[in-house]
Structure 1
């Protein structure tokens, strides 16, 4: 019997993923990001000092949805939890994303390392929340 495809699996296979984090007052803030599946989690990569990282540190509850490059949702939101990754896992995240997005992904990762250095960006791991 095959594995059941979930909405989280569909989001994980999308080219762009809308990550929604929440401000202290509960206001949602959505950002389209590149993301790549890695086992049962979805890896994303962003600027270390971004507000989304600060919001995740305070509240790891997020939602994810497939979207277009501009952030227009292409499906339902999926409740999830985000974790900020350490340096080794962030390196792994860069590799996984570069593989998924091919030469453009590789060039983007390398360009970011030149511009910001290794600590200028950070990986996020998102897993489906069983709420």
Structure 2
């Protein structure tokens, strides 16, 4: 089970892993290519909340097809388990990126006390920097 938040999780049966071996694998990268993984996740037929599904389908990402299938390819590591973990981590990051809502913040200027504090701090740092290496009697 891949936990996304306190009340949202993806069940193991919704994830399909396929071990891929690329054509013409040879030389030094044989082990790396042999442990490549494709993770397939069907958004429309998943147990995700409707809000998550809508936001995922609206996201413009080449890993998401028009039919609502996400395919993540992982072949960075030499072991199958690490590639699976990497694919799960990237799927989680993709879903959380889709549902993240930015807070509307209005630009504010620093208060008078904050400006004064910053000037005092810079002055203090400047004085101690100027005294470095100087012998004090």
TM class by shorter chain equals: under 0.3
TM-score, normalized by length of structure 2?
0.25
Larger Rg: 2
TM-score, normalized by length of structure 1?
0.26
Q: Which of the two has greater helix per residue? A: 2
